[in-house]
Amino acid sequence: MALLQISEPGQSPDPHQRRIAVGIDLGTTHSLVAAVRSGVAECLPDEQGRVILPSVVRYLAGGGRKIGFDALASQAEDPENTIASVKRFMGRGLKDIANHDKLPYRFVDAASATSEPSGMLWINTVAGDKSPVELSAEILATLRHRAEDTFKDDLYGAVITVPAYFDEAQRQATKDAAQLAGINVLRLISEPTAAALAYGLDNASEGIYAVYDLGGGTFDISILRLTQGVFEVIATGGDSALGGDDYDRALADWVLAQAGLQAVTASDKSALKVAARACKEALSSVASATDSVAFRVELAGATVSFDVTPMQFEAATASLTDRTLAAVRKALRDAKLGKDEVRGVVMVGGSTRMPQIQRAVADFFGRTPLTNLNPDEVVALGAAIQANQLAGNNTAGDLLLLDVIPLSLGIETMGGLVERIVPRNQTIPTSMAQDFTTYQDGQTALALHVVQGERDLVADCRSLARFELRGIPPMVAGAARIRVMFTVDADGLLTVQAKEQTSGVEARIDVKPSYGLSDDQIARMLQDSFSTAGQDMQARALVQARVDADRMIAATRNALAADGDLLSAGERADIDALLDAAVQALLLEDPKTVEAATQRLAKGTEAFAALRMNRGIRQALAGKNVETI
């Protein structure tokens, strides 16, 4: 049996049969991709060894763009075209974004951004109007390329995490972004559920666990029950517009108030955001509550400097922390549990590093929360575990996830009232139905308006879709029996079917929320992305060529240092010339030139490699005879 056929128990004996599946944490502040390798989930690094990818995209004049750290470095320099925290805009209209006037972006009304208005906000950049879906797709595509570069193979699929409190529109927008990035979505799972997997709670004692997830832009609280290896989310809550960004903004507003200043320009707002985040992170690591950290920022050409203590920061953001605990109380009420019944609390999200958060959670639950895993990586690691199982790589896996729907689903009835069909916190996947009838004699059609929310009036809920059931046989009012069935799949996405029972006439709709993108819009965006595909492939090819060249150059230099005496002066000069040519090629932007120079260096050093091998063999055999070998 060949050596490559040997594998760990439960793993595929043929590595080429293994499907490459990853977990992706598409975060507000930063994003990560992770995979199970040799039975262990780990985050995948970029060429510089960094696992975190800042969720920032900068568009350049002429059609170019920068993503991640390169874009982050330009945030203060070009704030209007450098978009951060786009996750907060997913599936949202401008009226849904609190304090949007304090952001440095040029928001566009959906109707003017496209001929097919979707209701979702758009952002004007030098590269044209961009939707949050397109921006998220740029980040997802970068993570996809990272995974494919790591495994040297195409990606089979990905599990992508979403906040537990993401509604139908936000989940659909996330799937649209993945499609645009060329990713096959195996499953959307909630971030708290993924965190529980990463912590190995499936191997923990049975009971009730809480997952407190405070990220850069969203807050989730989930109450999970673990029973015989089955994760069941029994209640969820949170705020999709509350996170570390709000703590930054509150700190910046407090400092401005103390200094009696205002931020007017887009550059001022962006500089304030950067300074506030730096000050917050520094405050999270100070040794004493009386120590202070300088908040420094350039506003309108003047330097503003203010010393902030942890106590001042905690006081300035106390209302935000209280909002998270209010959501925790509501989730416990929904689960009909007391906080003393919670066996353990898992902390997720980079914002949980703030000391006041850890103290507040410990005081509320009366126990020290679990913080032994990196809060930035834990969600991606859990998603990777689930992806590995869904791809069929873990044949021994017996993990079962039972997630819940975050908000109730129903239809509009007479008088603008909501009739709930699927209640919030219902375990998914699920299918639930209810019978309705006609309102007027001879009525042959029924208009159905699908809504989501907890309010009793349609006007106070989010509209998801409208469709009609036609062909109902004329009957007296109340005689028809129309069954409306709501089916929610494992990703939390909805299909609605209406069927008149006596005649069999039916209609159905796969709900694409008004804040999602139409199929035509996605097709158009995919076509637009083709125009930059060549540029993207060129950039990736150049990076790979430079990495290979660097390795060859380093190996040649090490060999010359160790065994250069084996070469004649002429041979050494030839290799030095090839080495210099490879170094010069690294400065060029043409991957083919770099590859050619690397290949010439490899071919030109073949004879030298043979000489080194002969020397090594002679040294190994020195003083030995055939009988002793």
496 within a domain of the structure (yes/no):
yes
Same domain assignment for residues 195 and 335 = yes
Query: What CATH number corresponds to the domain at position 490?
Result: 2.60.34.10
527 in any annotated domain: yes
Confidence of residue 587 (pLDDT cuts 50, 70, 90): confident
The two structure tokens encoding residue 286 = 């100070």
Burial class (CB in 10 A: 0-12, 13-18, 19+), 534: exposed
Same domain as 260, residue 224 = no
Beta strands 400-404 and 427-428, pairing class: antiparallel
User: 134, 125, 87, 131: which is closest to 106 by C-alpha?
Assistant: 125
Convert the pLDDT of each residue in 299-337 to its tens digit. Answer: 777 788 888 899 999 999 999 999 999 999 999 998 899
CA distances from 354 to 251, 348, 351, 357 (A): 13, 12, 6, 5
More confident residue, 79 or 229: 79
* C-alpha torsion angle, residues 242, 243, 244, 245 (rounded to 10): -50
| pLDDT over 80 (residue 488) | yes
Residue after which a domain boundary falls, among 402, 424, 447: 402
- Give the pLDDT mean for 604-611: 88
Is residue 414 situated within a structural domain? yes
Residue 3 lies inside a defined structural domain of this protein: no
Same domain, 217 and 266: no
628 lies in a domain?
no
Residues 217 and 253 in one domain: no
Percentage of the residues of the chain whose pLDDT score is greater than 90: 24
The answer to whether residue 253 is domain-embedded is yes
With bands split at pLDDT 50, 70 and 90, how would you rate the model's confidence at 460? Answer: confident
- Of 32, 123, 30, which is closest to residue 82 (Cα–Cα)? 123
Contact 542, 591 (CB under 8 A): yes
Q: What is the pLDDT of residue 523?
A: 57
Max Cα–Cα distance, the chain, nearest Å: 109
Q: Is 87 a catalytic residue?
A: yes
pLDDT for the residue 51: 94
Does residue 5 fall inside a structural domain?
Answer: no
User: Given 87, 130, 269, 512, which residue is catalytic?
Assistant: 87
* β-bridge mates for residue 446, sequence order: 469
Q: How many CB atoms lie within 10 A of CB 460?
A: 12
User: Per-residue pLDDT for 16 more than 50?
Assistant: no
134, 167, 191, 403: the catalytic one is: 191
User: Does 221 share its domain with 93?
Assistant: yes
Q: Is the pLDDT of residue 627 over 80?
A: no
Contact yes or no for 565/611 (Cβ under 8 A): no
| Same domain, yes or no: 203 and 352 | yes
Domain boundary among 381, 402, 423: 402
Name, in order, each residue with C-beta under 8 angstroms of 282's C-beta and a sequence gap of 6 or more.
293
| Residue 616, domain CATH | 1.20.1270.10
> Residue 13 falls within a domain, yes or no?
no
**118 and 258 share one domain:** no
305 shares its domain with 345 = no
Residue 416 belongs to domain spanning = 405-517
Read off the pLDDT of residues 35-77 as tens digits, 9 standing for 90 and up.
998 888 999 999 899 999 999 999 998 778 899 999 988 887 8
Examine the residue annotation and report whether 245 is marked as an active-site residue of this protein.
Answer: no
pLDDT per residue as tens digits for the range 377-423: 999 999 999 899 888 776 555 555 656 777 788 888 776 778 889 88
- Per the annotation, the verdict on 42 as an active-site residue is no
Per-residue pLDDT at 384: 94
Measured in degrees and rounded to the nearest 5, phi and psi for residue 60 equal -110, 155
Mean predicted lDDT score pLDDT of the chain: 82
What is the total count of domains within the chain? 4
Place of tokens 């696992």: 51
Task: Clarify whether residues 31 and 137 are in a common domain.
Answer: yes
Note whether 328 and 364 are within 8 A (CB): yes
* Residues 6 or more apart in contact with residue 173 via CB below 8 angstroms: 90, 91, 120, 132, 133, 136, 515, 516, 517
Residue where one domain finishes, among candidates 485, 501, 517: 517
Same domain, 81 and 186: yes
- Catalytic position from the list 78, 168, 176, 213: 213
198-212, 378-392, 484-498: range with lowest mean pLDDT: 198-212
Query: Both 524 and 490 in a single domain?
Result: no
- 347-373 pLDDT, tens digit each: 888 899 999 999 999 999 998 888 778
pLDDT tens-digit readout, 508-537: 777 765 555 555 555 555 555 555 556 656
The H or E element containing residue 537 is: helix 519-563
Q: Which residue in this structure is represented by tokens 């440095």? A: 104
Distance CA 61, CA 127 (A): 6
CATH of the domain at 170: 3.30.420.40
Residue 154 appears among annotated catalytic residues: no
Please check whether residues 174 and 262 belong to one and the same domain. Answer: no
Tokens of 532: 């930059």
